[in-house]
């Protein structure tokens, strides 16, 4: 299973720092890093709700699925167009 988290893309679009985002969502900057780097094993719906509220977006704007054989390293991801 390959779920890609595009929070970094949304933060760049919103010109928001990780620290600002973490405070607004109510999670630590370390946990934002866990999400951004794809190391999270789960996300609570309450956290996803807060992420979407803060970024003014839909869950599909920050989460996407790619088949295992199409995974790319985080540094090689290309953001979707707006």
Tokens of 3: 């779920």
Tokens of 81: 């167009």
- Span 38-66, pLDDT tens digits: 899 999 999 999 999 999 999 999 999 99
CATH architecture, domain defined by 3-59? Orthogonal Bundle (1.10)
Percent above pLDDT 90 for the chain: 73
- Span 12-28, pLDDT tens digits: 999 999 999 999 999 99
Helix H or strand E segment including 14:
helix 7-14
Closest CA to 53 of 31, 21, 81, 12: 21
> What is the rounded distance in angstroms from the CA atom of residue 33 to the CA atom of residue 80?
20
> What is the rounded distance in angstroms from the CA atom of residue 52 to the CA atom of residue 60?
10
Integer-rounded Cα Rg, in Å, for the chain is 12
Higher-pLDDT residue of 46, 67: 46
């Amino acid at each position: 299973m390959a779920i890609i988290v595009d929070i970094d893309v949304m933060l760049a679009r919103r010109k928001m720092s990780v620290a600002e985002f973490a405070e607004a969502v109510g999670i630590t900057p370390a946990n934002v890093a866990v999400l951004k780097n794809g190391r999270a094993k789960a996300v609570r719906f309450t956290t996803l709700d807060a992420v979407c509220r803060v970024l003014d977006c839909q869950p599909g704007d920050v989460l996407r699925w790619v088949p295992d054989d199409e995974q790319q390293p985080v540094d090689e991801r290309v953001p979707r167009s707006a």
